[in-house]
A and B are shown apart, each in its own frame.
Chain A
Amino acid sequence: MVFLRALDEKAQHLQRAGRIGFYIGAAGQEAAEIGSGFALRKGDWMFPSYREHGAALMHGYPLSSLVGQLFGNSADATKGRQMPNHWCDRSARVVSVSSPVATQLPQAVGVAYAAKLGGEKSAVIAYFGDGGSSTGEFHVAMNFAGVFKTPNVFFCSNNQYAISLPFAKQTAAGSIAVKAAAYGFQGVRVDGNDILAVVRVTRDALERARAGEGPTLVEALTYRMGAHSTSDDPTHYRSEEEVEAWRRKDPIRRFAAYLKKEGVLTDQAEAAVAEEAREEVQRAVAACEAAPPVPPESLVEDVYAEMPWHLKEQQEWIRIPVKG
């Protein structure tokens, strides 16, 4: 959680300094991310939304790849193809992120069906926000998962806002978790700022999935402390009092207070952890930022397995930009 906070702070600075184009932070949601990511096992699949870089790191997505993707240069394993926060890593089974919300949910059902068909004991976690629960794909995925009893965990980080629209404008139901009943499986609402509760709930849901007991919808109640993205100004649509009230429930301070009370953390150790995190982030940034830009010819690669004539022709236009 501390590491994720340090990463977010650094990335926001990079964006403000014009060194990266865009960033989506996770401040305030660390317990939901790190707790759920911690509950995963090797072999499980993850369909993140654009705010789950912390969960992905927990699941084996390398920091160097994550930071490289922010720069979109040759340090980016995906060749600078998407804006920051749209990453993936096949080896960790972290699937590529889409900007339209909840499009990944039916795809997660497909992967889960394939795992079930192949007799694999793995589960598939798919993340989305409260805004994602308003989409057709949310309904489609829940319905399919219920009908096919697939090993899915649908993890809603209900952070109270979809850009500017509050939760009450997304649903009249009052809770995302209750919706699971309509699809014939279990829904669980958990305090998303309590990391231990998140670990427990997610782990139970994953275990049920792996045991063939079908999907679970988890709603982690949390709060996005910062802006939706670096292009957003949340003072337009919410009060400082509201933010302050949630700041008091900051998952990092809360867990640290608990650990100190239990006698496993000291102020000194806490400061050391934060410092170590900042240094590691700094090292990754320095290494990735220095990488050369993506080669121009790569523009037309990977559209198809084999490059067809029209893209070969267009690749020539890149090599020789002005003809005749």
Chain B
Amino acid sequence: MATMTLVQAIHDALALEMERDPRVVLLGEDIGKNGGVFRATEGLWARFGSDRVIDTPLAEAGIVGMAIGMSLSGLRPVAEIQFVDFIYPAFDQIVSELAKFRYRSAGQFTAPVVIRTPSGGGIKGGHYHSQSPEAYFIHTAGLKVVMPSTPADGKGLLAAAMRDPDPVIFLEPKALYRTAKGEVPEGDYTVPLGKARVVREGEDVSLITYGATVHVAEEAAAMAEEEGIHVEVIDLRTLWPLDVEAVVQSVEMTGRAVVLHEAPRTCGFGAELAALIQEKAFLHLKAPVARVTGFDTPFPYSLEKLYLPDALRVIGAIRATVNF
């Protein structure tokens, strides 16, 4: 196995899938000669040509709309939106068009597009380079939403997304692009969509999270361990459709749940997780489900560190849950 960063692992998945399947095409802004602003597509333009690695005009609705058309006629397009904060001009194409083709045509037309996009904060990017809008897409029937937290998952989940028959919003935690390093299986490698990963086992509290906050959760779990609290950390990997069994099983065992994400709190994905746990594991609960999240504000620049959940906030919630 090779050691890679998250962005290298994503590059590896793109290159291998393009090699494996001639229907795969990439499109987006600056992804060709320039290799993408985060270098995820570096070298692919030279290797596969400008017909398959397509530098588009600057227009997100065009990128997604064009990708939809390509998918309708049998190609497997992977669209890159440079930052998820720029995705809103394409919002209608995503939620009303991409997500709905299968349903509205009763399966006659399908749109297996993957939209890759850097998401989340932690890079001093301010409001327009740091948002976490996953809840909009989870709320949209017809989309799958995926977020890796390790290089191995970055490769395996992206390859699986590119082979999936449904549209996938693939959110890449940009704070992890170069900070997350790890062993990545070489060659053909997939991680099935819809399966969570138990990062760390523990019987006192279930700490449920995804993306960049998986690493915050691990830190908080290690701190809790010193206090004699054994935390089970679950990385959801696919946010929707959710691996509900993994969540419920864990909570039934521990009786306590803390959900953690950096997206804003109100109507965030944590609210759905809390509701599901309440519906499906109510009689096992020894404490209310706790949420550790970002704030209900626009994403701030100077106060980014305060905005993003850190291990101290998480350990606070763990203690409150245990001492309820």
Contact = CB atoms under 8 A, between A and B. Distances in A.
A66 to B, nearest CB: 14
B101 interface: yes
A110 B70 contact: yes
A209 B15 CA distance: 32
Given A117-B25, A309-B244, A304 B104 contact: no
A315 interface: no
B86 to A, nearest CB: 14
Contacts of B142: 303-304
Interface centre among A86, A95, A137, A302 (most CB of B within 10 A): A302
B61 A114 contact: no
A112 interface: yes
Nearest to B67: A110
Contacts of A81: 103-106
B72 A107 contact: yes
B59 A143 contact: yes
A114 B66 CA distance: 10
A145 to B, nearest CB: 10
Contact of B141 (A45, A111, A303): A303
Contacts of A305: 102, 110, 164-166
A115 B105 contact: no
Given A140-B62, A308-B241, A78 B106 contact: yes
A280 to B, nearest CB: 25
Contacts of B71: 110
B298 interface: no
A107 B97 contact: yes
Please report whether the interface of chain B is mostly helix, strand, loop or mixed according to DSSP: mixed
A306 B64 CA distance: 23
A82 B109 CA distance: 14
B78 to A, nearest CB: 13
B69 A303 contact: no
Given A79-B106, A95-B109, A304-B142, A113 B66 contact: yes
Contacts of B165: 304-306
A318 B89 CA distance: 36
A311 to B, nearest CB: 8
A302 B69 contact: no
Interface centre among A77, A107, A118, A308 (most CB of B within 10 A): A107
A141 B73 contact: no
Contacts of A113: 54, 66, 69-70
Nearest to A313: B244
Interface in B51-69: 51-52, 54, 56-57, 59, 61-62, 64-69
A113 B69 CA distance: 8
Interface in A283-324: 301-306, 308-310
Contacts of A108: 69
B99 to A, nearest CB: 9
A190 B92 CA distance: 32
B108 A78 contact: yes
B108 A110 contact: no
B69 A96 contact: no
Contacts of A309: 241, 244-245
A261 interface: no
Given A136-B89, A143-B62, A111 B57 contact: no
Given A106-B93, A140-B65, A114 B105 contact: no
B175 to A, nearest CB: 29
A303 B103 contact: yes
Given A100-B92, A103-B97, A89 B108 contact: yes
Interface in B97-120: 97, 101-110
Contacts of A106: 61-62, 64-66, 68-69, 93
B179 interface: no
A137 B97 CA distance: 13
Given A78-B108, A107-B97, A136-B89, A302 B65 contact: no
Contacts of B73: 45, 110-111, 114-115, 118
Nearest to A143: B57
Interface in A64-104: 77-79, 81-82, 86, 88-90, 95-96, 98, 100, 103
Contacts of A137: 61, 65, 93
B223 interface: no
Contacts of B104: 78, 81-82, 86, 88, 96
B249 interface: no
A217 to B, nearest CB: 16
Nearest to A76: B106
A114 B106 CA distance: 23
Nearest to B241: A308
Counting from the closest, the 10 A-B pairs by CB-CB distance are A110-B69, A106-B65, A308-B241, A305-B165, A107-B69, A140-B62, A110-B66, A90-B108, A111-B69, A114-B73
Interface of B: 25, 51-52, 54, 56-57, 59, 61-62, 64-75, 77, 89, 92-93, 96-97, 101-110, 141-142, 144, 164-166, 194, 241-242, 244-245
Given A305-B164, A309-B241, 5 more contacts: A106-B93, A111-B73, A303-B102, A304-B142, A308-B241
